[in-house]
Every structure is written in structure tokens, then in C-alpha cells.
Amino acid sequence: MITRSPMLLHCSQPPGDRDLPETGAWQRQLAGAIRDPRALCQRLGLDPSLLPGAESGHALFEVRVPEAFARRMHPGDPADPLLRQVLPLEAESDISPGYVTDPLDEAEHTARRGLIHKYASRVLLIASPTCAINCRYCFRRHFPYHDNAPSRAQWDESLDYLRADPQLREAILSGGDPLAASDRQLAWLVERLDAIPHLKRLRLHSRLPVVIPDRVDGALLDWLASTRLQKVMVLHINHANEIDDAVIAACNRLRHIGVTLLNQSVILRGVNDDVDSLEQLSERLFEAGILPYYLHAFDPVVGAAHFDVDDARAQQLVAELRTRLPGFLMPALVREVPGGASKTPL
């Protein structure tokens, strides 16, 4: 008979995780993502007239769509709410007055390479410069990630910054997408964050469990489960159709190890700028064990003016949403105002 040491027990998979994704599956899916506008149009059976616009947008910010996400789109429908988030359009080349490349003024607040400290008690770390998907409306589409992809030495500097400020209670891993980094790197970083006594919480802002649910595999669960820090993951889902059974299973694996799941969305014209879509999103999030957190007002980023929903309309949609949902399924409509001490409620 084999007796299991506490160490082995700690390392064994939690019950209910027999159907963990195969190791390495997510890296293969990421490497195999659609990265060409022609391939995207073909995969979705789109009218070839969309291709020139897609090519010109791609030249500004490259197409990237993993198959696991493309699978949730309706073929042949250029208005599909998931496709709209990733298909480049001619309109991205438009110059619109008031649209800027760094709407949040992040360049001002980058205290160290890869570290943004804007708000009291929490610091944002750019843990990976890349994403698993390229969202056309992304306010970071012009962010100089290459200057913000830290080396080990730079990480040590960031960690010193966190160690030196006892007012900090939370480290936020962001990006890009922090889960695009390897588990080895993330385990290294989280082990060091864990050792900073004044930190209480680890937060991850990631779209990867939604885009490639197999990202939530045994290797990820191992390092995430092993930290003493309380764990929060803020997912990024804009439409109910993004949540399929594989996403729900990934969320269950995360909740199983004690991760609190929240969601942030961006209000986007043609994706979720109607009350029915917002209502279905909140309902579907809760089915997956996720609570709505923020609904971001649109940021005026160059190349994405065609997604703009004005504040008055966003406020009206949220007021109507409130008449349909319990309070705990209401996201807070916020905007990030440069120089603000927090996100600003609208």
C-alpha cells in the first residue's frame, strides 16, 4: 500500500479535475491562432469585399484569433458580436479628432519598466507584452509593450518597489495578457509576491481563460493554488456568446482552487450596446460563476472610433438594465480619467 505524504497530497489534482486539458495544448492553440486577415475571412465564410479593409487594419494592428474563439462565431455573419471584436475594418484608418494613442496617459505613470502605480493600495504589473487575441477596440493597441517587457533584472526592480511600500495590499498582473506568459515565469513571480508580507491579494486581469479555455490547465492551477495570497481573476468578456461549455469548465477549475471571478466589459457599438445583450451577458456570466464588475465607457483610442458609444447612451442603457437585473448582476459603468485616484463612475 502506498501512503501519501502531505507533500504529495498537496501536489495531487483536486477532485473533479479529471478532465484537465492536456499539458501544452494551449501553447499549440496559441501558436496556431489565425494571424492573417484572409484566413480569418475564409474561416468565417465572409464576403471577399471585406478583405481590403481587413488588410489595411491588419497593417496597423495585427489580426490574432485562436480557433477556440472563432468556433463561437456564426459563419457568414459580418455582424457577429464576437467577429466584430477581432475583424479589422477600413474605418480603423480614419483620423478622428480627439482620438489619441495613449488615452489613459499611462506613459506618465510607468514608475518602473512594466509597473504602473496610479491608485493607492494596488500596483499593476505588465506580466506579458502579448495577448492571445487582438481586440480591435483595445485601448492598449498603441502601448509600447516592447519597452515594457521586463527582464529578470527589471522584475527585481519592480519587486523592490513593491517590497518598499507597505501601503500596497494587492499586486495586479496585467498586460497584454499575463497568462500569455509561461507558467514557469508566473510561478517565479508569484512566489516572490507571496513572500512580501504586506501583500494580501493577487489579482490577474486576463482574457485567456475565455479565449483559450485550455489555458486553465494543471500547470496553471499548481502555482495559483499554492500561494497564500487571496486570488481574484478579472476576466474580460463582452458578449454572452463568448461563454461556451469549455469556458464554464475553465471557470469551475479556477473557482475550485478558491479564485474569485469577476468580469469587465467594454461597451462597444455593434457588440453589446443594447439592453438585451447586456442583460444576457450578466445572466450568462453568473451561470459561469462570474460576477459583473466594470462596464468600461469607451476610450477614445485612434483606430477604434467606429466602436464608440457616447456616455449619455451608455448611461441610458445601464439605467434600463437596472430595471431588469438584481443589483449583484449590475456592472459599474466607469471611465478611466487620466490623473484620477480611481476609476470614475459615470
If one asks whether residue 138 binds ligand PLP (CB under 6 A), the answer comes out as: no
DSSP single-letter state for residue 121: T
* CA nearest neighbour of 149 among 181, 172, 184: 181
Closer residue to ligand SF4 in complex, CB, 137/155:
137
**Contact residue for ligand SF4 among 72, 112, 118, 207 (CB under 6 A):** 207
DSSP string, 258-295: TEEEEEEEE--TTTT-SHHHHHHHHHHHHHTT-EEEEE
If one asks whether residue 140 binds ligand PLP (CB under 6 A), the answer comes out as: no
If one asks whether residue 92 binds ligand SF4 (CB under 6 A), the answer comes out as: no
Give the C-alpha separation, 279 to 39, whole Å.
Answer: 33
Residue owning grid cell 506580466: 127
**Contact residue for ligand SF4 among 30, 40, 135, 314 (CB under 6 A):** 135
**Contact residue for ligand SF4 among 72, 84, 140, 335 (CB under 6 A):** 140
Would you call 95 exposed, middle or buried from its count of C-beta atoms within 10 A (0-12, 13-18, 19+)?
exposed
Helix ranges (DSSP H) in the chain: 6-11, 25-31, 37-43, 51-60, 67-70, 83-86, 106-109, 152-163, 183-194, 208-211, 218-226, 245-256, 275-287, 311-322
If one asks whether residue 271 binds ligand PLP (CB under 6 A), the answer comes out as: no
List, in order, residues 6 or more apart from 337 with CB less than 8 Å away.
Answer: 344
If one asks whether residue 124 binds ligand PLP (CB under 6 A), the answer comes out as: yes
Residues 166-185 that bind ligand SF4 (CB under 6 A): 175-177
Closer residue to ligand SF4 in complex, CB, 199/209:
209
Taking the complex as a whole, the smallest distance from the CB of residue 81 to ligand SF4 amounts, in Å, to 15
Q: Which region, judged by CB under 6 A, interacts with ligand PLP, from 54-62, 67-75, 115-123, 302-310?
A: 115-123
If one asks whether residue 58 binds ligand SF4 (CB under 6 A), the answer comes out as: no
Q: Which residues are annotated as a binding site for [4Fe-4S] cluster?
A: 131, 135, 138
Which residues contribute to the site for ligand PLP (CB under 6 A)?
116, 118-119, 122, 124, 172, 336, 342-343
Which residues contribute to the site for ligand SF4 (CB under 6 A)?
131, 133-135, 138, 140, 175-177, 207, 236
